[in-house]
Amino acid sequence: MIFKRLFLFEKFFCGRFFIFALLFCMAIQSFAQVAYNVSPVGAGVASLVGAKEDIRNTKVNRSSDVVVYLSDGIYFLAEPLVFDEEDGGQAQYSVTYKSAPGANPVISGGRLINGWEVDPDNAKLYRAKIDGINSFRNLYINGRRAKRARGSAVSGVKIHEEDGVKVGIVFDKKVIENYNNPEDVEINYTRAWRDHYFLVESIEVLSNYYFLVRIKNFKYLYQKGYTAIAPGQPAGPLSDFYFENALELLDQPGEWYYDQVSKYVYYYPFATEDMNTAEVIVPSIEQLVQIKSSSLFKKVENLNFEGIEFSHNDWSWPSLNGFYSVQASAVSGFGVPEFKLPGCIHLDGAKNIRFNNNIFRRMGSSAINIYNNTDSIFVESNSFMDISSTAISVAWKIHAIIDLSQEEGIVDHTFIRNNYIEGIGAEFKGSPGIESFYASNVVIDHNELYNMPYSGIAVGWGWSPALTTTKNVYITRNRITGVIQKANDGGAIYSLSNFGGKDGLLIEGNVIDELILPSSTSNEGSIYTDEQSDNVTIKNNIVKSTRKWVYYNMARGVTVDSMYVTKSVTNYGGNVSNSTDVKMANDHIWLLPNVNSQDIEDNAGIEIDKKPDVLYFSKF
């Protein structure tokens, strides 16, 4: 039976736990469930924070299941909800935070902004004073992400050097202005798979015709393996620079600008918007939920979140340090060592944690970051939309080899199933929909991804043939529609390096459609095994694309069998090395339409009985 190994894997690793729990429950008397009912205006144990603290202080989670029911409304947080091992369920018990019947609670890291007035210098604009927030990158008007003031694409003239050091870019005076607050201005620049935000230091007059735009720590980007302007090339095209966050660029309805000196935010409303009644939310905290144990040898256990919307977190770090994309969530600032882009929900030291049927949207970073020392994390039947970076990120590059002295613990047994993902990478365009670095036993199954700016699902890391903790990764029965919409050099499914374990990397039963939303480039391919990808099996997939349906770049061991494709059965290929071993079952590659592919088509994507309550399908 197809996917038998996948089911056996889940049975082996999960079956023992559930059998034990069932026998245990049959052998003892049932315990009463403890329930809390909270609301956004509740006090004490009737508040979200108060209920959490009461569970911890009374230790009720040690003797029964606990459910915290959230009623309707927005729960504005002044600081993250932090859960350590005292906050989860103990022994066989669980603690669940869930929506009350019929309710739609929102946990928000934002603040309401009121007091809007017409700008005395421009009657088209409104402004409001913001106190207590030094920097932010997103603004939400009546539930919609407003657009930060942004100009059209412009080209530079040349890179400017002083004493042999690159310090900035020269622009013609016809294409940019000498902005009044240059310290607020950023330049967005995307090349291949990398998305950068350069911080402007100053704008200087070079001559009657040219400005010099000095960029903070610009020289740092020329000390990297890939140069700032064009990855993989000594120099690149000086085109497609977008200047952002200047009052002079605020010229279209739906745009905003924040003056960090005066602390005024300016907004150009649509004709249908009334700023006296509009709900305006600015994000103010970086994380909404932090699940973190007190030490490497303890874990937060048996904690569940169901039916809740998480929204409005901030990640203003790029506004202070610049943003240099290495690949996926591996980033650095200008002069700052490489690190992982953070998540609104952060897990470090956690076991048996479930996110089920939640909504993650209007976020300024990644949504869920399963970061370190985790086991049995379930992300199932959730909806993700309007996320600045990645929807779900698993592990990090530190986990290639576990070093306990550095507080590193393996990321093991992660289940990502039946989720709907759309509109991610809203700010950082090199973001995959789902990504996994060095992790073991990862199941990415039955998800639907729509309109990805870069890769859909990206797994593996390191560009190395060495065996690491990366093993037994299953990408099965997903439906991916539209990838490589803004960045490129990626795939609907993308892999790197060596996959260990009995099954290595299995890519099976997926439906990839790059015809409904064609890729922005014809380069590479839909299933992309990049450098040193090894122990990879690709079979029983449908690929609808004009790109290569399988592309390999310096890969090692790849086996391809039983594929249903458009265009041509021979439309595959790539770059090889002396160690490349790609086994292609050419007699098992068939053109679409094909009646034998219907079973794959019918079984890919979200299972009917596991659909999230909210699906978007490009309606935002």
Q: What is the pLDDT of residue 8?
A: 45
* Of 22 and 554, the one with more pLDDT: 554
Q: For residues 516-533, b (16+ Cβ closer than 10 Å) or e, as one string?
A: ebbbeeeebbbbbbbbbb
- pLDDT of 593 > 50? The answer is yes
In sequence order, what DSSP letters do the residues of 585-617 get, joined into one string?
A: -GGGEEESS-GGGHHHHHHSSS-GGG--S---S
- pLDDT of 168 > 80? The answer is yes
Q: What is the pLDDT of residue 222?
A: 73
Residues 89-101 have a mean pLDDT of 97
- pLDDT of 34 > 90? The answer is yes
Q: What is the pLDDT of residue 134?
A: 86
555 in Cβ contact with 520 (< 8 Å): no
- pLDDT of 229 > 90? The answer is no
Instruction: Copy the structure tokens of residue 276.
Output: 């006296």
Q: What is the pLDDT of residue 126?
A: 98
Instruction: Copy the structure tokens of residue 456.
Output: 């859909």
* Of 31 and 157, the one with more pLDDT: 157
Instruction: Copy the structure tokens of residue 573.
Output: 């290929």
58 in Cβ contact with 24 (< 8 Å): no
Torsion of CA 336, 338, 341, 347, to 10 degrees: -120
Residues 17-33 have a mean pLDDT of 48
- Helix (H) / strand (E) element for 57: namely helix 48-58
Residues 218-238 have a mean pLDDT of 71
Q: What is the pLDDT of residue 568?
A: 92
Question: What is the per-residue pLDDT across 294-333, written as a single tens digit (0 to 9) for each?
Answer: 999 999 999 999 999 999 999 999 999 999 889 999 998 7
Strand 280-283 to 110-112 pairing: antiparallel
Residues 169-190 have a mean pLDDT of 96
Q: What is the pLDDT of residue 449?
A: 98
- pLDDT of 24 > 70? The answer is no
- The domain spans of the chain are 110-149+250-282, 158-248, 373-620
Q: Which of 353, 324, 359 is nearest to 339 (CA)?
A: 324
The pLDDT-based confidence of 616 (bands split at 50, 70, 90) is low
CA distance 425 to 388: 5
* Of 24 and 397, the one with more pLDDT: 397
Q: What is the pLDDT of residue 17?
A: 46
Measured between alpha carbons, how far apart are the two ends of the chain, in Å?
Answer: 39
Average per-residue pLDDT for the chain: 92
Omega cis (within 30) before 120: no
- pLDDT of 228 > 90? The answer is no
- pLDDT of 2 > 60? The answer is no
Q: What is the pLDDT of residue 226?
A: 73
CA distance 130 to 573: 55
- Helix (H) / strand (E) element for 357: namely none
Residues 387-400 have a mean pLDDT of 97
Q: What is the pLDDT of residue 231?
A: 62
Question: What is the per-residue pLDDT across 468-520, written as a single tens digit (0 to 9) for each?
Answer: 999 999 999 999 999 999 999 999 999 999 999 999 999 999 999 999 999 99
Strand 117-119 to 122-129 pairing: antiparallel
Q: What is the pLDDT of residue 308?
A: 98
The least confident of 26-35, 260-269, 464-473 is: 26-35
Q: What is the pLDDT of residue 221?
A: 75
The pLDDT-based confidence of 353 (bands split at 50, 70, 90) is very high
Identity at 495, one-letter amino acid code: S
- pLDDT of 22 > 50? The answer is no
Q: What is the pLDDT of residue 219?
A: 83
